[in-house]
Chain A
Amino acid sequence: MSAPLLSIRGLRTVFPTRAGVVHAVDGVDLDVNDAECVGVVGESGSGKSVTFQSVLGLVKPPGRIEAGRILFDGLDLARCTAQQMRSVRGGDIAMTMQDALTALNPAFTVETQIVETLQAHVPSMRTRAAARARAIELLARVGIPDPAIRLKQYPHQFSGGMRQRVMIAIALACGPRLLIADEPTTALDVTIQAQVLELLARMRVESGMGMVLISHDLGVVAEQCDRVAVMYCGQVVEAGPTRDVIARPLHPYTQGLLRSLPSLSDPDRPIQPIDGQVPDLLGPPATCRFMPRCPRAAAACETRVPLLPAGAGRNVRCVRTAG
């Protein structure tokens, strides 16, 4: 088995605040392989976005990476130089954000925003003409009609779905090996969501790049991703092939997530929300984080629980289910 494209080990990212230090990411291990789509699921505050902001060094100060390794192509992104990071960003690893309306600069045309990415990474795009031609190609590739005209327009002149496509075009401009899509469908209408997901799938297949799909929506992830990682309270609590995890969830949190979704096959099954609240990330307890809400909690859960293997490429952070 070849080395993974991206390998995160023991990542810890913290945010010092007046009330104390928030451990947003507290010991995350995650791998992404070539041409693979990994879904990362969790609710707000689970640390899923911060994990990948850390990968690209985009954590806003005073937040910082406290520990861990982020291996990409032999480089440890947690420790590389600013120069190296800038080269990786956009060139090798690209990211799209949740809301294209705020992610695209309202003061510049779409052309400017695509061309500047090209000129930052691709030597053959030095001339304006070459860059412009490539930009038109990219817009066409993501399915934007009349690309030559739309190139000259501003972000606010596009519809929500079109804007998301523009953002994807920018992300793919330099042929990255890994695309991190942070909540790509959250800000969109349901019908548009499907189109965008299909676009992403197509792009991935065409280019053979790896992809990370971050979402709080298990349904989105279930359809698109080869593997899935479930995050809770800054940690990965379960990981494995998507179909297996959904068919046979091992961690009580994952089980709770699935139970709280309406079921297509059994529409009358009552939705069961998970009891309790997410604990404070200020001072995470030295026990299993999910313990207060877990129906299967026992005395054995009162220790720090590592991610344990659970057969066939699966991992679970639970002493009650693993093995």
Chain B
Amino acid sequence: MLAPTPGIDADSGPRSEESMLAVSVATFLENRTAVACALLVVAFAALALLAPWIAPHDPHAGDLLRRLQPPAWMADGEWAYPLGCDALGRDILSRLVFGTRVSMFIGVAVVLVATVIGTLLGLASGYLRGALDVAVSRVVDVLLGFPYLIFAIGLMAVMGPGLSNIILVLVIKEWVLPCRVVRAETLAAREMEYVEAARALGDSRGHIMFREILPNILSTVVVVATFRMATIIIVEASLSFLGLGVQPPTPSWGSMIADGRQFLLDAWWVSTLPGVAILVLVLAINLASQGLRDAFDPGLRT
């Protein structure tokens, strides 16, 4: 047989983890759409953090003389209240800015906590197997049997609305996704040679799980998490729309849309504009996540 020669398929890729990360980051940065969207998400986060200083008016203060005032570019609008006012005369722009806090905070908090819990349980059940795996899988099956909103609505109904309740309820439903993904990846990883080698070297199970397997599946976990954030934001908005989310007077985009429903004919902006905010944020998250996924694993790119 011929001596092996690389040919045009020669792949002399980087070997060390650090440089693989560098390659992924570089690939991501080449994707201008993804970078722009990531910056947009950061901008929203900044908006959320700096809301009290950025919002032009107090979101809770309503001036009934300004009830249902149109946005600035329409007749009867004024630039001091650029996006108009709602039924109680409150500045919509300010309420949108403050609403960012709710969406971003819930989005990040739920995904963060759920991912940590899900990853830990997924690693443990995937690697250690046995009774733990069986128990976790049963719980996952049961939780997956509930459609997302049904579960959330059911629980919120009995627990009552409120920020901490929402986060709790959403985390309870959300952790199963990262858990399943991590478990599947762990099951595959534990058959691989690097794990066998670690076992042969006498590494402890904890070491193998956290120092050997986890770094390899981390990119998948991160990509899943970023995508889920988009979904969570929409779920929270849906709950708020139904009145089961954060309660007034805290502004949330979903409840703002609900408030504006009855004025659709005369004051379409009250319901429409918060939806635009949701759309923009979720779109940005989705595109940035896609860019992230493409950067980490170009093989998945279609």
Contact = CB atoms under 8 A, between A and B. Distances in A.
A271 B9 CA distance: 25
What's the dominant secondary structure at chain A's contact region?
loop
Interface in B1-59: 1-3, 5-10
Interface in A258-273: 260-261, 271, 273
A216 interface: yes
Contacts of A216: 1-2
A223 interface: no
Instruction: Give the interface residue-count category, chain A.
Output: 10 to 19
Nearest to A216: B2
A273 B2 CA distance: 7
B2 A280 contact: no
A44 B3 contact: no
A26 to B, nearest CB: 13
A45 B2 contact: no
A274 B1 contact: no
A216 B7 CA distance: 13
Contacts of A261: 1
Interface string A264-302: 000000010110111011000000000000000000000
Interface string A20-54: 00100000000000000000000111000000000
B2 A260 contact: yes
B10 to A, nearest CB: 8
B3 A278 contact: no
Most buried by A among B3, B6, B10: B3
B3 A274 contact: yes
Contacts, number: 34
B76 to A, nearest CB: 54
Contacts of B5: 43, 274, 276-278
A260 to B, nearest CB: 6
A257 interface: yes
B2 to A, nearest CB: 5
Contacts of A273: 2-3
A278 B2 contact: no
A217 interface: yes
Interface in A224-267: 257, 260-261
Contact of B3 (A217, A260, A281): A260
A10 to B, nearest CB: 22
Contacts of B6: 277-278
Nearest to B10: A277
B9 A44 contact: yes
Contacts of B3: 260, 271, 273-274
B139 to A, nearest CB: 34
Nearest to A275: B3
Contact of B1 (A260, A276, A277): A260
A165 to B, nearest CB: 25
A186 to B, nearest CB: 11
B7 A217 contact: no
A45 B8 contact: yes
Contacts of B2: 43, 216, 257, 260, 273-274
A44 B7 contact: yes
A237 B38 CA distance: 53
Contacts of B9: 44-45
A277 B12 CA distance: 14
A320 to B, nearest CB: 22
A44 B8 CA distance: 8
Nearest to A271: B3
28 contacts: A22-B8, A43-B2, A43-B5, A43-B7, A44-B7, A44-B9, A45-B7, A45-B8, A216-B2, A217-B1, A257-B2, A260-B1, A260-B2, A261-B1, A271-B3, A273-B2, A273-B3, A274-B2, A274-B3, A274-B5, A277-B5, A277-B6, A277-B7, A278-B5, A278-B7, A278-B8, A280-B8, A281-B8
Interface of B: 1-3, 5-10
Minimum-distance CB pairs A-B, first 7: A273-B3, A45-B7, A45-B8, A44-B7, A278-B7, A281-B8, A278-B5
Interface of A: 22, 43-45, 216-217, 257, 260-261, 271, 273-274, 276-278, 280-281
